[in-house]
Structure 1
Amino acid sequence: MNWSANACLLARLRGRAGCLLGVVWTVHAGAQTPPPPPPTANPLTALMHAQPNIDTQSPVEAQAAFDPPVIRPGETATYRVTFNAMQASIQWPEEVIAPNALQLATAARGQVFRPGPNNNLLPQTTFNYRARPGTNGTFTVPRYLVYVGGVGVTVPAAELTVSAEAPPTVRPALTVSVHPTNPYVGQLVTARVLLPGGEDGVLRTLTGVELTGDGFLTDLNSARQQVAMTPRNGRDVPAFIYEAALTPLRPGRVQLAAQGHTAGLQLAGPITITGRVTIPGGAGQFTLLDAEPVTLQVRPLPRGGELPGFTGAVGRFELGPPTLSANVVAVGEPLTLTVPVRGDGQLARLVPPPPPRSREWQIFAARPEATPPQVIAVRGFAQFQFTLIPNTDMVQTTPAIPFAYFDPERGEYVPLHIPPVPVTVQPGGADALAVAALAARVSNDEDGPPAPRLTGLAKTPGRTMASLVPHQAQAWFPLVGVLPLLLFLAGAGWDRHRRFHEAHPEVRVRRRARRTLRREWAAWRRAAGLGDTGRFAAHAVNALRAGCAPHYPAEPAALVGRDVLPLLPEPERAGDEGRAVREIFAAVDATRFAREAPAHSDLLALREPLNRVMTRLEARLREGT
């Protein structure tokens, strides 16, 4: 409003035009630019910011103990070492030093993230060893140093007592079992991990259960966990049970072990609970437990008796009724044959049989099913989908497709062919010549290689024959006669060059030394620019050795500072250049042979005299003096 009053006052003094100008000024001054819309947040960035942080800044501490600390003769204990650090940052030793009568065998190692303050995750890495004492007494594993992220962390000493007067161990042990124990390669095996609870009904659950070993494939989509009552010492006690399907990949003896962290109420994934059970609340202890490994004797599939259509399916399977995408098609039109497969094998990894050859049909290989494995496991069947194209209208059914599987209970291959499906094929729908050519090609593929026959004349010239004029009559052909002369002259020049270097090998030695000097000289300058005294000294010594080696001759690595000084003039030998050569070689020798690397912060001051020395050595190599 003040701007409008001032504008009208100005108009009274300067006329009507001034008032019009004031009105325009008032309108523009009163208009406000709308604020920009707030920036749209990136969903991926928001999701990343919502994730809890992993605490990697806290000081790393180590804990070591035997579980239990007191055992009876013949029993075993677990030697457990725990760090509050990521497993990838721990440089764990290959062997833990223990008393002679105490045997420590590697059992398990694992990592878990515990909930911490401020919505942070605290990493915890545990190493388990199975301890078997040979005699009674007290055994002590001394403390030792483990590097975590390049920093040394002391693992405290741990003590184990073996006494006949100790009470028997009654702690629930983690066990793993498999069925069957002598499977065939590719047969589905069920692994069962069990952690029983106490007789008071208190149960510890597990998280992050892993089946470890070589020679088998674990199907995590089939994993399920439950709490059920199991007999123990004549009573039914609750137990945590984890089951998963395995597939052996090679014959022979295969060892399978299991491990997991105690979790309390912090469970991962769905779980079924039956019976009365007490699960302690509060924060979980996340103690790493491991089970004694079990051995599977995997049998190979028999080589004899393999049937057509076998693609590695092991188990017991049956086919559902095959269906067609259309019951009436024309010649040359594609249709889809869908075959459901049910059974107790690896349905998600079934490989369709190869398509048979047929004169009446063109059959394409079955497409791999894009359905997720967990969906296939829930619905209970897999599907083969073949694409077929009829070549003639004389067919009334689709061709039979051979398929077979290996039955591990019977120990033999069982045929399971895909039966023909009735279909009506009408003429037309495709070019008759194309269908005839396709049928002839399929027939040739079945009966053998086609007979050779001449083709017709091409309608257009090809790339290699653009003209009917013979090569010898074209303008460029005389140049072909000059090619042998050029090759002869090139060979003569090369032989002359070879004989020269054979008579004067020092020329090539000086060139090689000059290239090495220049390379180390450039690296030396870069190290000086970065202020890296260690690399500064190393590259300087390498450059000096490379520049002096052709004058002796000797290997550059065998030269010392005393060998460099005779190549300098007497004034430089006694001046700053000689002093710089002696100091730089002394610094490198001290770094290599001293117990503790000394600090050489004053080496960068030698840059100018060393640069003059390298310039002189490079000039001598170039001049051959």
Structure 2
Amino acid sequence: MRILCSIMSVVFFIALSFSAVAQEISVRASVTEATVPVGEPFEYIIEVQGSVGVESIQLGRLSGVEKRGESQSTSVSIVNGKISQSRVIAYTLVASTEGKLTIPAATVKVDGKTYQTNAVEITVTKAAARAQNNGSPGSNTYPDLVFIKPVVSKTKLYVGEATTVIYKLYERADVTNVVVEKDAKPEGFWVEEIDLQQGRSSVPHTTEFLNGVLYRVYTVKKMILFPTRAGTLTNGAYKLNCDALLTKIKQQRGRTLLEDFDSFFGSLGKKVKIDVVAPEIKFEVMPLPEPKPEGFTGAVGKFALNATLDKTKVKAGQPIAFTFTITGEGNIRSITPIPLTLPSEFETYEPKVQENISRQGGIISGTKTIEYVAIPRAGGKFDVGSVSFSFFDPEKGEYKTLSSPRFEIEVEGEAGLTAAVPMAERQAVTKMGSDIRFIKTNADLKYRPTPVYQSIWFYSSFLVPLLALLFVWMRKQRQEKMEHDVAFARAYRASPEAKKQLKTASDLLKQNKQKEFFAEIEHAILKFIGNKFNTDDLALTKDELRSLLQEKGVAPTITEKCLRILEKSEYYRYAPASETKDDLNAIFSDAEMIISELSKPKK
């Protein structure tokens, strides 16, 4: 297993290295706020895309701006086998003078090459007055930090013309638990929803600068609207609820803000509830112009018509099929079947309609196929006139009419009546012993085994996956706790690490390296106590160590034995050892016993 892990690690880092070579490196600078008051901290961010090998950063001369702090974060992601790397360095700056200031380009050395960022301009205003905030953060709104921006392809259009509405969520922080509180339900529109990937975390995001500020952008909703009536229409309200991380650093400034890409500073803040509402959009819908062509049924868009006849020469009583295919862009679903008029000698059935709709690229397109089946009941030559289909082209603002070719059909003979099938003569029931599944009169009763659904294996097939899910959930809970709870993580790793050190001490004892043996024993016990009780100060006096163990409820006998071993270990590290082999083995056994006793949970 270790060999496999080592091989996988080597392969990963080789792939990472090749990716770093192939990936283009770009460096850019931005600020969290383009306008800041005097004395208020803001973040100046340098983002390196394509590599994490940042060797040095030389900021330009900051005139009128003071540097207060610095933080860094590295990101490596693998999407569809492609590795992307980036490093973000965030500087906390404070402006001291009013007016427009320019933060000059910074020089960044990446993988042995030198790059320069762009210069960034900010506007510094008068110091903001500090107002007391008695309300809860969750009741406030943060329109400059988390907001929805609807993007519309057109707001002035004709009845039946398509317009695309995309709702984009802009955020400058770690936003989670995004829930749709009120979905947009436009009235007066035919709505086609465009399916997105489930869950915001699975949707790829982009980055975008607005007013000099860098945002993460997610597409949270996409729909295509076809107005069904003229007048002024709206898209309806769209509202989201989400959790956002407010940082303590920003709260101390007198106004609560979210950090840019707050995952770097998340451990310093707390989550609040935020309501995000998209502004309504007004559409000016124009009626279709008059006069409308004859046979127009309301189709709007760009279309083509194709008409085919499967046979032009048939016998009376045999079916023939007329197929009309409409292809193009527009509301394919709203197109009604093209009427087909045939001579009275033809019996016509209801048309069979099939649709193939595509929403690729946010455009509704596809085909609608209308198939008429008809049966000629008399012989002769018949002329079927062309069929017309009219639609309105909104780009040109005019109607267009498409016509199919004329069809000539030659029918041979007269349609005859179908011959009647003669009735079979009634016969008596004959008992047969060779028929399929014949009745057996002398069959023996046999034992039927327990049905599968009543067996223990059947129920186990349900129970095992549930237990597996429970195991995965518990493992994930423990992993999350270890990532966020330092004390728990240290205590969890204390015993395994101590056992490894004791194994090393045992090897040293076998090699008769007594000084190294005592040093390893001392280090194992002190490190175990530090991890177990989450303390980093291991340079404790004898009395302080005794007080710590008593405070943690350790038995006095264990405490005294621990102190004696530490005293001996410290002494023999610097003085000649005079202990016998049996004494050393006893000391090792006592160290094992101490770590074992301290590892036991409290009763």
* TM, length-normalised to structure 1: 0.35
- Structure with larger Rg: 1
Which of the two has greater strand per residue? 2
* TM, length-normalised to structure 2: 0.36
